[in-house]
Every structure is written in structure tokens, then in C-alpha cells.
Structure 1
Amino acid sequence: MIHSKFVLVFISFSIALSSTAQTATPATTILSPNLLVGTYTKKGSKGIYVLSFDTVTGKATEISHTDGANNPSFLTISKDHGQVYAVNEGSDGKVSAYSFIDNKLNLIQEKTSKGADPCYISLSPDQTNLFVANYSGGSITSYHRFADGRLSNPQQFIQHEGKSVNEARQEKAHVHGVFFSPDGKYLLTPDLGMDEVSIYPYQTKNGPPLQIQKASKIQSSPGAGPRHLSFSSNGKFVYVIEELTGSISVYRFYKGIASFIQKVYTHPKSFKGVAGSADIHLSPDGLFLYASNRGTENNIISFKVLPNGKLEEKSIQYYSTEGKAPRNFTINKEGTWLLVANQDSDNIIAFRRNIQTGSLTTTGVSIKLSMPVCLLFY
């Protein structure tokens, strides 16, 4: 049986680049686009890395990095690229705010996340509020963002309470992300522990930014473990990756209500291993959907997206990530490159992407970096 309740509380490395084993040299010319990389720091990473990315070769060069950041595993950047915000994942969870000038990060603030192991961070589209998902804490924390990019103390705190059927992974709430709908009117929060995605109306008038009393929910299949999601650009469809069953559930989305239309799997029917699905993104043109699997397979999968929002199951393709634990991946705005962060093999793999067919091709380029987790083009 699944139990759920919400409680609302107000509170006023060095880097090397190789297709062989080359050592990266400091950048002398800034290439476009650039790339932010969030990492775990327990094996020697310096924290957040700023890389220049060459869209001709797929190679990258380090521009700068932080010093002393603790597990800045997920990142977000302001629209004007003036600030970068990171979670600091650990039992004493924190959020760090950085000024970002001339591709260099300077720490300006640290705030408590009010929950253990913050794992995801998002700015509201209007840039006035910041939201954090605390995985082990099973909670969401918000901060007001001032005009100069600084953050208020925690502004709103929402504690999820509940569990689901997988005793090892779903013994309590585990909020795994905070995602805005394209129109900026709703914040969706997948909870792996409760098999739910909460849909909170967002507002900027008086009172807390998330209207908990008006929230709706997506109820996932028992044991599925919703983790991340991706919206179609028109906001009509939402695709939820489910970590524990290696599945993707597709929903029609209208005025804050999600209606189930399809479930597909990211593994062959004969698959008997550990799923470990992680991340999900649509291509910039919305014609293809990609997801990453850790666990036994360590791959990227792709589907064609049909005009009715469903995924064409027979179109599924599998691509090895040439590493272990592909945590997060990103696609450049032109749709010509897909980069994947292999957390456990300490490398980032660059795939060329065919924008007509959606197919991925390896380049032989491996960007060596200790425990990469989050990739963010800017």
C-alpha cells in the first residue's frame, strides 16, 4: 500500500582530454558553446568545471574550475549567465550561489537546503525563485532570488511523507527532481520513494510560491520509481523516466492535470539485469526522445516521437556510453551533439547526432574528468 501526506512549513582533478591519453592544456581561445560540469568530489575533483567545447572535433578544453566545492552534483545557470547555482550533495545539504564572470566562478553564498542529499536544482522561468529537491530528506526547498542573483534564506519547505512497495529503495519519500512546465505555471517533482509526481501550481504574488492546496499528482505504477522528466516544447506532453523498472510513462498535460497515454520500456523484453534508468531529454526539435540507463546496460536509448505524443516502440535504438553509470546527458541547442557523463568511469563521451534520423555516432573522444554528474551547455 502506498501512503502519502504533505506537510508545509514556512521558514522566513585535473582534467584530461583524450581519444588516447592526452593531457588538456589551458584554453587560449574560448570556443562556443561552453559547458559546465558538476561532479562528486570524493575522488579528487575540484568541483565545478568550465570547459570550452569544439563542435567540429567534439574535444573539450578546461577554462576554469572551482576550488573547495563539496559534491556540486547538479547545476543551473541564470538566463543572463551571470550566476550559477549548485546543490552540495551530502547529509548536511547546501546550496551554493556563484557569480559567473569571464567564465570564472566565484562563490558568493551558501545556504542550507534543509534536507539531506540535495540532488536537483532549478530556477523558475521568471528567474525570481530557486527550487531544490532533497533526495534523502524527501523534501523540496525554495529560495527567493534577488535582482543581484543572491538568494534569500529558505522561503518554503515542503516535506513529502510516504513509501511504496520496494522495501530497499522506497522505504520513504525520495524527491529526485524539480521541473517547470514550459509555460512556467507548474513545478513537477518526481518522488522515487512514493511512486508519485506532484504537480504544484506556481505563483509570484503574496504567499509561498508553490500552492500546495491546489496540487495534483501523477500516480506511477507501484515500484516504478519516477526520477526525471521532460516536457514537449508546447507543454502538451510529459515523459517520465522510471528508474527502478526501466520504463518511460507518457502523459498528456493540460492545465496542471496529467493523463496517462503510454508506457514503454528502455530494455529489451529479454532483459534480466538491473535497470538503473537515470535521465531523459527530448531533442531540440521534439522529434526524438533519449534516455540513459546505468545498472547492467550503461547505454543511451532513443525513440521516435509520434505526432500524437506517443513513442514509436519499434524505433528504439541502443548506444553504449563507453563507460559506467551514465548519470546525466545533454544535447546542444543545434541538436548536433549529445554528451553523456559516465560517473563511475570518470569520463564524458561525445556523440555526433544526426538531426534527421536521431542516430548517434561515437567520435572516439573521451573527456577525462573525475566523477562527472551534471552537464550544462551555455
Structure 2
Amino acid sequence: MSAPTPASFFAIVSNAADGDLAVFRVDASTGRIECIARHPAGEAVMPMALSADGSVLHAATRAAKRTIVTYSVDSRTGGLTRLRTTSIASSLAYLSLTPSGAWLLGASYGEHSVSLYRAVDVHAHAHVEPVQVIDGIEHAHSIVASADGRFAYVASLGSDTVSCYAIVERAADARLELVQTVRVEPGFGPRHLRFSPDGETLYVSSEFRATVAVFARDAETGTLTARSIAPRAPALAHLHDGRARPLAAGSAGAQVDPSTLVWAADIQLTPDGRFVFVAERTTSRLIGYRVTDHGTLEYAGYTDTETQPRGFRIDSGGRFLIACGEQSTHVAVYAIDAGSGALAMLSRCEGGRGANWIEIIPQTQPTPCTTSAEPTH
């Protein structure tokens, strides 16, 4: 009996400098990538949030005109249809959805806050105000909801903390209520968050060291317990710890050459939970970690990638990693070795300028048409 043909998929990349979303198709039998469409979105389009069923995509723009642009997604063709452009007040460095799709969560780095939006309002109105804003979260860089939709976790790069909030829904209303705030090492710079497949572990990337903090997570209470921190990658030994950016003119940080500082970005896990990857922008490398039997992380190697990689994604089958770079106009596809986690480039494709965020949508096959026999009389 022959093995089933692996599913091909679409990769959607937001291009901040071009102000559009590029749609790519990746052939899962070969790893070949091709660009099939470009869709205008808005100046400085950056974070995206995809609904759990892959049918709705939200993208936030961060220029003078701040918006959330909503698209419907055709998973058969990769087509995007713009449904609404909604203006908002905040510049969102991160955008995510609760699993139900009812609530949008945003983190604002410059405004030191997180916000909660009712998705139905974003879909229906030209301008929306958040139903809740929580201020005082220094350089809030990401916010993600747990798989059961009961908790949201926030990384505060400026205060070296990760916070857990309960998502409390009452009728058509919801609120984020603080459950716990935990600290990481001073100077760690927590940036992005990812759950293990079973939801029992939370991984936190360090922008300033490109390491990963590992927390055990209590699914019932949402609380976190520090477990370990991954070792510093030898491939970054020549760099100093990073600092919050932009480096303000006249500050001590402004006197430091940025090319000598670690500047990590996104974090992703393989679907089987065996490997963790972090993007490091100064060296343009993807740093790999292996999850040990004890739940700690050990360094597994690095791969050179597109220049200044901010975002990357792993397909749902765990076979491919797709990476883009803010200073590259190409998008690359890598095969992931299931045993070692090593990456091997398969293909590259011309993309756009300022590429920074990727979402992946499995390609579905058209439903075959069926005809019934004419009734006899």
C-alpha cells in the first residue's frame, strides 16, 4: 500500500516595505516554492493572525495609519479576499487570536500595553476601540492564548517578565485578569512565546541572547514554573548581549555598534515537540535546539538563512521550515531532518521588501463533483 501524498501548502508573508501580503505555494513533494499572488494591505504591514480553521486572516499595519486588515482565505487556491480595513489607535508589534476566533489580542511595544478586541467588531466597523487595554507592560512584545482559550500569556521585553492572564468571558464581553507574573534572568529580554504540543510547557525566546527559557505550565490554573534556560549557542559567541531597540540617540546604548549585539526574533517548534528554533538577525542564522528526555534544551546547531530573519514558520507536518528576511527579497524553504533537526535548503523564491511575518495554510483539494443518475419514469 503506497504512502499518502504529503499535503502542499500556502505561505503568506507580510512585506512591511512594500505594504502587501505575498502568497506562495510550496509543493510538499519537492519543497519547491513559487509566488502566486501579491495583495495590497497597507504601509508597514507586519504581524498577522490566522484563525484556527485557516479561513480568516488578520494583518496589522504600523505606519501613521494603523489598521487591522481582514481577509477571507480560500485554502484550495491560496486566494485572499479583503473583507474589511478597520482603523485602530495602537501600533501592534504582535497580533493573535483566541482559539474560538472571538477575540483578537494585541501587544504594543512602543505603548507598553496589551489590548483586547472583539473580532466581530473588527469585521463589521471602520474603526474600533479595544474592549480592554492593560498599560504599564514595558515593551510588551507578544501575547498568545492557550489552546483551551482560558489563558493569555504576555512577554514584556523591558521588564524581563512573562505574565499569565485569565481570559474571563461573560456573555458578549471578556476581560483579561492577571493570574501571575514570573521573572526571567535580568537582561534576558523575553520576546516571543510558544507552547509545546501538549500545552504543558511554555518556551520563551530571548531577544538579547537568542536562548530559550523553559517553563512548566499548569493547564488548570495557567501558572508557570521556571524549569531551565537553554545554553548560549556557540555560533553566537562573538556577539555581546543585545539591548532594547531602537537605541536612543545620546544614550549609552547608542554608542554600541549594533552589529556586535545579539538580536533574536521569532521562535518556532516542530509539531512533534522535539526541536525548537530561534531566528537571530545580526548573524542571519536559525539557531536549533533539541528537547531532551528531561525537558531541557540542548544546542543542536545553526543554519545561515535570509538576511535579518524576523519571522519563520514550520508546516503542520513538520517537514519544512519557511524563512524570510527583513533585508532580503527572497523566501526560502528548508527540509527538517526528523532525527537531528538539521535544516537543508530546498528552494528559494523572489518575494518582497521588508518581509517579516509568515502564516501557513494547508492546501485543501476541491470537493469532487458528483452526479446522480436521472430518475426513471
Q: Does the alignment reach a TM-score above 0.5? A: yes
Assess, with a 3 A threshold, how the Cα gap between structure 1 residues 239 and 81 changes in structure 2: closer, same or farther: closer
Assess, with a 3 A threshold, how the Cα gap between structure 1 residues 208 and 320 changes in structure 2: closer, same or farther: same
- In the other structure, the counterpart of 1:264 is 230
CA contact 1:349–1:367 (8 Å) conserved in 2: no
Mapped to 1, the partners of 2:176 and 2:325 lie a distance apart of: 37
1:210 has 2:181 as partner: no
Deviation at 1:91, TM superposition (A): 4.6
- In the other structure, the counterpart of 1:326 is 309
Mapped to 2, the partners of 1:107 and 1:365 lie a distance apart of: 27
Q: 2:129 aligns with which of 154, 173, 189?
A: 154
1:71 has 2:44 as partner: yes
Assess, with a 3 A threshold, how the Cα gap between structure 1 residues 257 and 68 changes in structure 2: closer, same or farther: closer
- Where 1:69 maps in the other structure, the secondary structure is coil
Deviation at 1:149, TM superposition (A): 5.0
| Counterpart mapping for 1:149-298 below 5 A | 150=124, 153-161=128-136, 173-206=138-171, 208-212=173-177, 214-254=178-218, 255-268=221-234, 270-272=237-239, 273-295=260-282, 297-298=283-284
**Letter matched to residue 146 of structure 2:** S
Mapped to 1, the partners of 2:39 and 2:348 lie a distance apart of: 24
1:32 has 2:8 as partner: yes
The one-character-per-residue Cα deviations of 1:197-234 (angstroms, maximum 9, x if unpaired) are 2211113224852332x431121222221100111111
Mapped to 1, the partners of 2:26 and 2:108 lie a distance apart of: 31
Q: 2:295 aligns with which of 309, 323, 326?
A: 309
Mapped to 2, the partners of 1:365 and 1:224 lie a distance apart of: 33
Q: Percent identity?
A: 22
Q: 2:97 aligns with which of 100, 114, 123?
A: 123
Deviation at 1:32, TM superposition (A): 2.7
Deviation at 1:58, TM superposition (A): 2.7
Higher mean displacement: 252-261 or 52-61: 52-61
Q: 1:350 aligns with which of 308, 333, 340?
A: 333
| Counterpart mapping for 1:31-50 below 5 A | 32-41=8-17, 45-50=18-23
1:89 has 2:62 as partner: yes
The one-character-per-residue Cα deviations of 1:244-301 (angstroms, maximum 9, x if unpaired) are 2332111111122111111124432733331111111111101111111112x21111
- In the other structure, the counterpart of 2:245 is none
**Letter matched to residue 179 of structure 2:** A
Count of residue pairs the alignment pairs up: 329
Structure 1: segments with no counterpart, 5+ residues: 1-30, 163-172
The one-character-per-residue Cα deviations of 1:311-362 (angstroms, maximum 9, x if unpaired) are 1x2x4211111x3111111111111111111111222221111122211112
- Where 1:326 maps in the other structure, the secondary structure is coil
1:338 has 2:313 as partner: no
Assess, with a 3 A threshold, how the Cα gap between structure 1 residues 68 and 277 changes in structure 2: closer, same or farther: closer
CA contact 1:60–1:367 (8 Å) conserved in 2: no
Answer with 1 or 2: which has the greater Rg.
2
The one-character-per-residue Cα deviations of 1:124-164 (angstroms, maximum 9, x if unpaired) are 101111111112112222221239954783332323326xx
The one-character-per-residue Cα deviations of 1:40-60 (angstroms, maximum 9, x if unpaired) are 12xxx2511122112233332
CA contact 1:52–1:63 (8 Å) conserved in 2: yes
TM-score by length of 2: 0.80
**Letter matched to residue 96 of structure 2:** S
The one-character-per-residue Cα deviations of 1:84-115 (angstroms, maximum 9, x if unpaired) are 10110235432122233453333332334332
**Letter matched to residue 336 of structure 2:** R
Mapped to 1, the partners of 2:124 and 2:350 lie a distance apart of: 32
**Letter matched to residue 200 of structure 1:** Y
- In the other structure, the counterpart of 1:140 is 114
CA contact 2:16–2:354 (8 Å) conserved in 1: yes
TM-score by length of 1: 0.80
1:372 has 2:359 as partner: no
